[in-house]
Structure 1
Amino acid sequence: MDDVLRLDAIGQARAVKDGQVSARELTEAAIAAIEAHDGELNAVVHRRFERALAEIDSIPADAPFRGVPILLKDLGWRQAGEPYGAGSNVREGGEVTEDGYGVRRLREAGFVMLGRTNTPEFGSTITTEPVAFGPTRNPYDPDCSPGGSSGGSAAAVAAGMVAVATASDGGGSIRVPASLCGLVGLKPSRGRVSLGPVMGEGWSGFSCPGFVTRTVRDTAAALDLVAGYEPGDPYVAPALPGPLAAEAGRDPGRLRIGFVTTHPRGDVPAVPELAEAVTGAAALLESFGHDVTPGGPAALGDPDFPRHFGAIVANNLAAQVESLGESRGKPVDPEELEPRNAAMVATGRGHGAVDHVLATQWVDGFRRRMASWWHDGHDLLLTPSVGAAPFPLGWIPPGDLSVAFGRTAYVVAYSSPVNATGQPAISLPLHRNAAGLPVGVQLVAAFGREDLLIRVAAQIERARPFEHAAMR
């Protein structure tokens, strides 16, 4: 059964369909893997094993992922009848009464939902160490962070508990843990996946649902399932030429690719392993016949970006906490929050409506400056996925907010600008540092071009298949 668990989700679905393993046997094997390994990793904060097993017999025989186990991030991805913690001790009033649209589509596709994964409080940082549920550990090194905010999902997939888990990304929260856990993580274009019915957008459009997986084809197939407009969505991404799963085998043609190895912030020391990861990926892409040259959008290093991005996030957190107080019928006291979030909420509450509009207007201009680089003839931008080397748990100190915010800002220096522009970006596990820890590289495409990312990512994966040494 271990061999089946090592398959990706598409491989597991085929094994069930061909009768190599039953849906129940596959689910029981995933449950056993969670029970065996999660005591050390703390990736799964809510288990629904008995309910999951009881649901198997009602899955239609023709569901494409019938019997394939999946875990849901405990932020977004609401499931009816299950708790919703968002990494916090501050909970909404009542219980979840309706599946999110993405969860509904995954259920219809035949996935078996085993539980919910750990996330930092409200997903507001890049390591998964919430006070409410305790830290999640990286399967490659239990003293290291798996990243955040989708750290529980990434640790579970990297450890081999499941082949795919849901995630979300508001400033790098898919790509950071994908990089640190050696996985594939694609942040879709803004409006590609609905956040309904509870929300129209997250963090003023910065946040997007997605997945962490072990293969490019799983990422493509999973995104195909949940992508698409739902009535009432505030916007929708441009239509793709066809299913993303079909793009994984297509020749991308000769592309013009720029790459960046220096940190967008001039005051951050160089990290050799990040530069090595990018230059190695650049050489590989050049060997395919692509036109690969140094350089990227000048706007990427705009020193004013972190201030405006941070203000918009703080404003949204303040609104979220206000809404939590209303839903439970009691205002949230700052002392109920982790210090980081209490500080951000206070900052957001100190901003006025005019401040928020001015920040969003600044980002509008930033988006156009960034987009011009692709419009002028470039196809892809190659960068590190993360602006720092793999880091230990506790490196984002809860008691020193100045250090915590500073380190967070330079970790997401390559990823958060892409949340602001709404472009799609993918992290690929192409490098390991001297300690054997994964170091991901990021490819960014023009708005709406997930198809191009999947073509190139699959081209890379065919030439250099990804290794998953952390699988237990």
Structure 2
Amino acid sequence: MTLAMSWDEWAAHDALGLAERVRKGEVSAAELARQAAAGIEMTDPALGAVVEVFDDVVADPLKDGLDPKGPFAGVPFLMKDLGPTLKGRLQEQGSLFMRGNRPAEDAWLTQQMRRAGLNLMGRTTTPEFGVCSSAENPALYVTRNPWNTDYTTCGSSAGTAAMVAAGVVPMSHATDGGGSIRIPAGFNGNIGLKPSRGVFSIGPRLSDITGYVSIQGCHSRTVRDTAAFVDACRGGAPGEFMPYWTAPEPYVELIRKDPRPLRIALSHEWGDYRATPHIVAELEKAGRLLEELGHHVAWALPQADLRAAFRAQTTCYISNFAQVINGLLTARGLDRPPAELIEPINIRIWEAGKDLSYTERYQMQAVFNSTARAFGAFFEDWDIILTPITALPTPRIGTTEYLTTSDNPEVLDWFENLWKFFAYTPLSNLCGIPAISLPMAQQENGLPFGIHAQAKQANDGLLLQLAAQIERALGGRWNDGRRPATHVTTA
């Protein structure tokens, strides 16, 4: 098959760059889709990141209602197999139990993506129901890190992380209930923004009340692509429980200007959790770069009861996921999850959460409120807080203690083990504040490592401005200009 461009040329373009070539008539949306499909064919045998390619929209990108006049003009885009539904397409949520599940309608965000001109041409891997840290169940698939396939991508936006990092697509869909956009972005060398509440709809099936901590987003390799994605896809579906807000200026315009000098706090001491010495050194290195850019940087931490916050976050996950599983069981007339089709930790989550009282849920909400208020007070004095993306380095494939295939009999112990690793990302979900992982650090073994910035509610634009300033300071060379071992230019 003759491709529209060389792989070096392909990898040199971000999504907006490809869209510009479509608008100039130099390449068609169908040619872009065919090239992305060829990239999947080359890299996915090593990575296990793509569940399905939609051959019909590769052949005809306009088939499902894509607007070619949107800012992305037919750029290929992959959907995490969880979250927004696509009418008539399989969505199996990383679960044997969900095999053959075919939603009957588009989600609101799906429609927004198509209006934006994105060609939704396939599904990427995720752990079962997005619960755990890695898409790693051999009965389904094992998703591997393109920098070194002995390691996981982490999750739950596992396949998306691999496909963007490997240069197959410039952007891909991701979701985040506690770090699932940002952690795989950090471990695969991508940019991953978790926006504030009130940006991306999870309607019509869910709302910000039913999905307290869940948010939508993407992985990209340039700040302007993430900015354009937010600009084009934000907004509430009819009947939202809260108003959806719009930034005073499009982010693609805002990021062209440097932010004012910012007050930036550093921390790796997060409740009971601490990062490794190498990771702390990488955080300090990022702080020095920000000082060179004219920002004030010092060590500081919100005065929140972080132990209580993590307990409340655990209650939220257990109660939410238990009800998700309950709904699936009810739809099939089942009394309990079948052990051969649902993974052990998810069954234990269902057992722990199915009868959770409203009193416990109310107590959880009270801690959400007090934690969010403490972070809000902190952001009266500071613009940004900078942490590592995780406290520990990327796990190797087969590290089962973080997986929902784990044989840990104690679900609370399983969650506590997660928090020791993924300490820094979940509380921004709890508070509804924006956070971004930027690929500006490196692990001792050479794998990428994300530096994680959080800001106050609705300061998404400030995070993107800062990210764009850093990108310019680095000459656009995220990850020191390195590429993964598994990449379209070398496959």
TM-score (norm 2): 0.91
Percent of aligned pairs sharing the same letter: 35
Q: CA deviation at 1:64?
A: 2.1
Find the aligned partners of 1:60 and 1:230 in 2 and give their Cα distance.
Answer: 19
Matched AA of 1:371: G
Q: Aligned to 1:304, what secondary structure does the other structure show?
A: helix
Find the aligned partners of 1:92 and 1:331 in 2 and give their Cα distance.
Answer: 19
Q: CA deviation at 1:446?
A: 0.5
The answer to whether structure 1 residue 126 and structure 2 residue 130 are counterparts is no
Kept after mapping to 1: 8 A contact 2:72/2:116: yes
Q: Aligned to 1:79, what secondary structure does the other structure show?
A: coil
Q: How does 1:319-334 map to 2 (within 5 A)?
A: 319-334=323-338
2:468 pairs with 458, 466, 471, which one? 458
Unaligned runs of 5+ in 2: none
Q: CA deviation at 1:4?
A: 4.0
Matched AA of 1:273: H
Counterpart of 1:362 in structure 2 is: 367
Find the aligned partners of 1:201 and 1:331 in 2 and give their Cα distance.
Answer: 28
Counterpart of 1:45 in structure 2 is: 51
The answer to whether structure 1 residue 393 and structure 2 residue 397 are counterparts is yes
Q: How does 1:129-140 map to 2 (within 5 A)?
A: 129-130=136-137, 133-140=140-147
Counterpart of 2:299 in structure 1 is: 294
Unaligned runs of 5+ in 1: none
Q: Aligned to 1:143, what secondary structure does the other structure show?
A: strand
Kept after mapping to 2: 8 A contact 1:45/1:133: no
Matched AA of 1:178: A
The answer to whether structure 1 residue 17 and structure 2 residue 31 are counterparts is no
TM-score (norm 1): 0.94
1:378 pairs with 375, 378, 382, which one? 382
Q: CA deviation at 1:102?
A: 1.2
Counterpart of 2:110 in structure 1 is: 103
Kept after mapping to 2: 8 A contact 1:189/1:237: no
Q: How does 1:49-88 map to 2 (within 5 A)?
A: 49-56=55-62, 60-88=67-95
Q: Aligned to 2:97, what secondary structure does the other structure show?
A: coil
Kept after mapping to 1: 8 A contact 2:30/2:60: no
Greater mean deviation of Cα atoms: 22-31 or 213-222: 22-31
Q: CA deviation at 1:456?
A: 0.4
Kept after mapping to 2: 8 A contact 1:170/1:203: no
User: Cα distance 1:317–1:184, how it changes in 2: closer, same or farther (>3 A)?
Assistant: same
The answer to whether structure 1 residue 439 and structure 2 residue 449 are counterparts is yes
Q: How does 1:179-328 map to 2 (within 5 A)?
A: 179-201=186-208, 204-266=211-273, 268=274, 270-299=275-304, 302-328=306-332
Kept after mapping to 2: 8 A contact 1:264/1:414: no
Q: CA deviation at 1:251?
A: 2.1
User: Cα distance 1:125–1:399, how it changes in 2: closer, same or farther (>3 A)?
Assistant: closer
Find the aligned partners of 1:140 and 1:175 in 2 and give their Cα distance.
Answer: 17
Kept after mapping to 2: 8 A contact 1:259/1:292: yes
Find the aligned partners of 1:192 and 1:181 in 2 and give their Cα distance.
Answer: 25
Find the aligned partners of 2:167 and 2:226 in 1 and give their Cα distance.
Answer: 16
Q: CA deviation at 1:202?
A: 7.5
Alpha-carbon displacement from aligned partner over 1:44-76 (angstroms, at most 9, x marks no partner) = 112212333223477555232122100000010
2:426 pairs with 408, 416, 423, which one? 416
Q: CA deviation at 1:43?
A: 0.6
CA RMSD of aligned residues (A): 1.9
Matched AA of 1:51: V
Matched AA of 1:288: L
Alpha-carbon displacement from aligned partner over 1:97-142 (angstroms, at most 9, x marks no partner) = 2111111111122221221110011111121214552210000011
Find the aligned partners of 1:290 and 1:361 in 2 and give their Cα distance.
Answer: 35
Counterpart of 1:158 in structure 2 is: 165
Find the aligned partners of 1:137 and 1:92 in 2 and give their Cα distance.
Answer: 22
How many residues align structurally?
A: 468
Find the aligned partners of 1:84 and 1:240 in 2 and give their Cα distance.
Answer: 32
Kept after mapping to 2: 8 A contact 1:396/1:404: no
Q: CA deviation at 1:351?
A: 1.9
Find the aligned partners of 2:184 and 2:33 in 1 and give their Cα distance.
Answer: 25
Kept after mapping to 2: 8 A contact 1:5/1:26: no
Matched AA of 1:48: F
Find the aligned partners of 1:133 and 1:257 in 2 and give their Cα distance.
Answer: 43
Q: CA deviation at 1:3?
A: 3.2
Kept after mapping to 2: 8 A contact 1:262/1:275: no
Matched AA of 2:165: A
